[in-house]
Chains A and B, each alone.
Chain A
Amino acid sequence: MSAKLQLRLMVAVLLLIGFGLTAYKVVVLKFPLTPGEQEQVWTVQAQLRFTADGQPVRAQVNLPGMTQSLYVVDQGSAPRGFGFYVEQSDGFRRGVWEARAPQGDVRLYYQARVYASGGVVAKRPAPDALPDPAPFAEADVEAANDILEDAFRYSADNTGFALRLTNRVFNDITDPAVTTLAGDKAKTADRAALVVRLLQSAEINAAVVRGIRLDKSERKQSLATVIEIWDGTRWQVIDPVAGSVGMPDNFLPWQTGDEFLFQVDGAKDSSLTFSVIRDQISSRSLAIEQGQSKGVALINFSLFSLPVDVQNTFSMLLLIPIGALVVVVLRNLVGLKTSGTFMPVLIALVFVQTELLTGLILFVTVVGVGLVIRGYLTSLNLLLVPRIAAVLIVVITLYLMLSVIGYRMGVEAALSVTFFPMIIIAWTIERMSVLAEEEAMWDVLVQGGGSLLTAILAYLAMTNREIAYLTFAYPELLLVVLAVILVIGQYTGFRLSELRRFEPLSRGE
């Protein structure tokens, strides 16, 4: 079979699989083709880590509850070698993993999809007894009374009392009464505990609620705190950060009062970390996905089944083929000259992190100054490897100077220079410098300009919301990209630049 025929066959198969899977998802599974209107959807993940030494292990993690504004759907976690179930008793839910004899470093994941729509909130029973707080020490009584009396005077009911008290403890850092009770360096958790203790000593039932504030994607999310009080007729939430009454819309409660956050029996060195990914996907599509997630292999073996932090990585990785496609088109169809084949893609990835304009200015500055210094190194007649190593050190020095000078001058954007991969920058400088010597400065400008243009177009493609959505929701479209690249790989027609280059020959003699 000739190479050409093989290629055509392969391209046909790739297109069939790529478009076939996409069509199946769209038609049968009812995936939308566009990201749609952006409702807030988060995937929250708790990672429980511990070291097991062959003993039977029972690991429990308190699970998040719904609120008036957040709807939570547990996603079955399928850890290898562990049994998992959700234990539900009055008022709390726990995820429980059990294994007879696990070994070594174990990571267990609990995932939940959280939607910004009304959740089902179980009605919590009224407290059955008055609180029984630990009394304040002799030295602290006066300060405590000062705060309590002040709060009492400026409020009409339990809620107002609690709000006034919370605001004082959280916001007035220099308040001598507060520093006496909580210390100078009190953390949020300490202050919350103090508020609860004060409230309880005023015979108000109160508890600290810890949870996650859902905002942007975050690999390592720390726990935030709100305070819950019984106002005599119902449970109320006070947000100490906003200084307001009522559950914050984006607060996902995870642990209330004396409940434990997690507990691992039979192992040691346990820790719990949280990460959050904000999806670009409409909640509608996710609802479909959740509905289908039982028994559909295509989804069970999809990106969405991976831990969230890995998903974050892949959403970036999946964009690289798009950048590569841009390079292929510009080099082989347009005939643009670039310095280094895929250097523009790497630069585009940096632009994604630094914003376009900042990235461009930093890139041109570093490469420009680098070229000047490299021009001097030429006169020293250095061997290749020491020369590039020298350029590398020059590049790092430039990073340092740009960061320090930029930061001193109040241009914080200069700090993002460190996103540029140093080795790539060093090689770019080296290649352009050789080009300037062997050809002319003009060729450096042509290639440098071509590289930047390619990087900008790749950046625009990679940051396009629709493209980002398609690559992430339909990774099988990668095969289509592959097919297109294979076809271009055998394209023998003219490049756009050649229509210009050979134009004089087309007019005939």
Chain B
Amino acid sequence: MIRFASPFALRRAGIVGMNRRNVELIAQNNPRHLYPLVDNKLITKRVLAEHGLDAPTLIGAVRLTGQLRDLPAFLEPHKRFVIKPAQGSGGKGILVVAGRDGEAYLRPSGVAFGFDELARHVNNILSGLFSLGGKNDVAMIEEMIDFDPVFEGYSFEGVPDIRVIVYKGFPVMAMTRLSTAASDGKANLHQGAVGVGLDIATGRALRAVQFDKPVTTHPDTGADLTRITVPGWDRLTQLSARCFAATGLGYMGVDVVLDRQKGPQILELNARPGLAVQIANGRGMRPRIDAVEALLTTGSAPSSPDDRAAWAKEHIAPL
């Protein structure tokens, strides 16, 4: 039995729909000319570095096939790194090198492969195999994240990242998506990944849903989802809030991963973040957006990102 809500009930619950997101949140806050800042990860990296925001360090970039000759010598000092397309989508085309065995490179699984395979992968990236629309691309080489073990046992495959929605510099909502066997290792909620809403004040799990139904344990690993608490939450929200000044995007998704030593690192930014975060949180985004707008019209809004994050913790989290 398919159940429909009345539009009034959804409005009361403060849900933001797709049309409102497109017309009010994205079209009015994200000027088109800023999109390349986030769609091209190489530019994102530069912008983040200019503003001193934590992100995995860029080792180098391969722009031309000719540069492949110098690549082995260039990679010599780096034992662990990741190669990815600058304009890739959906996590495609990412090659992780977790170590060395003499001349050979090692995958995280321990399987060794030679430079020729690495070179072919870079070549595929350059020729646009993984980029949207098949445009020629650039291969980025960045340091591998030493993942914080906080999510161990919470994911079927891969390491989850944390998505923070930042509205005009205020972190308004956050979640993490855990892949499952049902989602085929993908982090898409509608395919069966578990969405965990995170309290914007504390980083603690608020609730978890799979296929729109509340769950308390991970369906594959059995780990207790209610016990998730993201460490270094203050730094994480401050970092997210700072991205506003760096990019100018008024409605943005900030994807953060946790490094064991360095703490939260910005993985990428998104100019069109989806609405699933509301389902994971079990509440609508609208009261929070309205609260930010109301604060901005008073003219007494905090101007520093850290103060905005602090204000959000105090005033937005309860909404």
Interface residues of A (CB under 8 A from B): 332, 335, 381, 383-385, 438-440, 489-496, 498-506, 508-509
A495 vs B12: C-alpha distance in the bound complex, in angstroms? 16
Q: Which of B49-57, B125-133, B251-259, B290-298 contacts A (4 or more CB under 8 A)?
A: B125-133
Closest beta carbon of chain B to A423's beta carbon, Å: 16
A-B CB proximity, top 4 nearest: A384-B134, A506-B5, A506-B9, A492-B20
Residues of A within 8 A of B209 (CB): 504
B240 at the interface (CB under 8 A from A): no
For B209, the closest partner residue in chain A by CB is A504
B109 at the interface (CB under 8 A from A): no
Interface centre among A384, A440, A493, A498 (most CB of B within 10 A): A498
- Given the interface pairs A383-B128, A493-B19, the reply to whether A439 lies near B191 with Cβ below 8 Å is yes
- Given the interface pairs A383-B128, A495-B18, A500-B2, the reply to whether A505 lies near B7 with Cβ below 8 Å is no
For A382, the closest partner residue in chain B by CB is B129
Do A503 and B5 have beta carbons less than 8 Å apart? Answer: yes
Do A505 and B19 have beta carbons less than 8 Å apart? Answer: no
B23 at the interface (CB under 8 A from A): yes
B32 at the interface (CB under 8 A from A): no
Closest beta carbon of chain B to A391's beta carbon, Å: 13
B307 at the interface (CB under 8 A from A): no
Sample of 20 A–B contacts (CB below 8 Å)? A332-B19, A381-B129, A438-B90, A439-B191, A490-B23, A493-B17, A494-B17, A498-B15, A499-B4, A501-B279, A502-B13, A502-B15, A502-B17, A502-B279, A504-B209, A504-B213, A504-B279, A505-B279, A505-B284, A506-B10
For B212, the closest partner residue in chain A by CB is A504
Contact of B13 among A332, A440, A505 (CB under 8 A): A505
Residues of A within 8 A of B7 (CB): 493-494, 499
Contact of A508 among B13, B90, B186, B279 (CB under 8 A): B13
Interface residues of B (CB under 8 A from A): 2-7, 9-13, 15, 17-20, 23-24, 90, 92, 124, 127-129, 133-134, 184, 186, 188, 191, 209, 212-213, 278-279, 282-284
Contact of A502 among B5, B184, B186, B188 (CB under 8 A): B5
A495 vs B18: C-alpha distance in the bound complex, in angstroms? 8
Closest beta carbon of chain A to B192's beta carbon, Å: 9
Residues of A within 8 A of B18 (CB): 335, 495, 498
Contact of A494 among B10, B90, B188 (CB under 8 A): B10
Residues of A within 8 A of B23 (CB): 489-492
- Given the interface pairs A383-B129, A493-B20, A495-B18, the reply to whether A502 lies near B10 with Cβ below 8 Å is yes
A27 vs B24: C-alpha distance in the bound complex, in angstroms? 42
A505 vs B20: C-alpha distance in the bound complex, in angstroms? 17
- Given the interface pairs A383-B128, A439-B188, A494-B15, the reply to whether A509 lies near B282 with Cβ below 8 Å is yes
Having A385-B134, A502-B17, A505-B278, one finds 10 other A-B pairs with CB under 8 Å, namely A332-B19, A492-B20, A492-B23, A501-B279, A502-B5, A504-B213, A504-B279, A505-B284, A506-B5, A506-B9
Do B10 and A505 have beta carbons less than 8 Å apart? Answer: yes
Residues of B within 8 A of A381 (CB): 124, 129
For A490, the closest partner residue in chain B by CB is B23
A132 vs B7: C-alpha distance in the bound complex, in angstroms? 89
A440 vs B3: C-alpha distance in the bound complex, in angstroms? 24
Do B4 and A500 have beta carbons less than 8 Å apart? Answer: yes
A383 vs B136: C-alpha distance in the bound complex, in angstroms? 10
A371 vs B90: C-alpha distance in the bound complex, in angstroms? 21
A299 vs B9: C-alpha distance in the bound complex, in angstroms? 51
Residues of A within 8 A of B134 (CB): 383-385
Contact of A503 among B3, B11, B284 (CB under 8 A): B3
Residues of A within 8 A of B124 (CB): 381
A508 vs B282: C-alpha distance in the bound complex, in angstroms? 8
Residues of B within 8 A of A504 (CB): 209, 212-213, 279, 282
Contact of A499 among B6, B19, B90 (CB under 8 A): B6
A499 vs B19: C-alpha distance in the bound complex, in angstroms? 13
A504 vs B213: C-alpha distance in the bound complex, in angstroms? 8
Do B191 and A440 have beta carbons less than 8 Å apart? Answer: yes
Interface centre among A500, A502, A509 (most CB of B within 10 A): A502
Closest beta carbon of chain B to A502's beta carbon, Å: 5
A508 vs B20: C-alpha distance in the bound complex, in angstroms? 21
Do A499 and B128 have beta carbons less than 8 Å apart? Answer: no
Do A505 and B282 have beta carbons less than 8 Å apart? Answer: yes
Closest beta carbon of chain B to A438's beta carbon, Å: 5
Contact of B6 among A385, A440, A492, A506 (CB under 8 A): A506
Do B19 and A492 have beta carbons less than 8 Å apart? Answer: yes
Residues of A within 8 A of B213 (CB): 504
Closest beta carbon of chain A to B187's beta carbon, Å: 12
For B25, the closest partner residue in chain A by CB is A492
A498 vs B190: C-alpha distance in the bound complex, in angstroms? 13
A140 vs B238: C-alpha distance in the bound complex, in angstroms? 108
For B8, the closest partner residue in chain A by CB is A506
Closest beta carbon of chain B to A382's beta carbon, Å: 9
A491 vs B279: C-alpha distance in the bound complex, in angstroms? 22
Closest beta carbon of chain A to B135's beta carbon, Å: 9
A193 vs B20: C-alpha distance in the bound complex, in angstroms? 75
For B188, the closest partner residue in chain A by CB is A439
Residues of B within 8 A of A335 (CB): 18
Do A499 and B188 have beta carbons less than 8 Å apart? Answer: no
Do B13 and A506 have beta carbons less than 8 Å apart? Answer: yes
A508 vs B15: C-alpha distance in the bound complex, in angstroms? 11
Residues of B within 8 A of A502 (CB): 5, 10, 13, 15, 17, 278-279, 284
Do B19 and A491 have beta carbons less than 8 Å apart? Answer: yes
A491 vs B18: C-alpha distance in the bound complex, in angstroms? 10
Closest beta carbon of chain B to A413's beta carbon, Å: 36
Residues of B within 8 A of A493 (CB): 7, 17, 19-20
A385 vs B5: C-alpha distance in the bound complex, in angstroms? 44
Closest beta carbon of chain B to A462's beta carbon, Å: 26
A384 vs B133: C-alpha distance in the bound complex, in angstroms? 7
Closest beta carbon of chain A to B122's beta carbon, Å: 14
Residues of B within 8 A of A496 (CB): 4
Residues of A within 8 A of B133 (CB): 384
For A335, the closest partner residue in chain B by CB is B18
Closest beta carbon of chain A to B120's beta carbon, Å: 10
Residues of B within 8 A of A489 (CB): 23
Residues of A within 8 A of B282 (CB): 504-505, 509
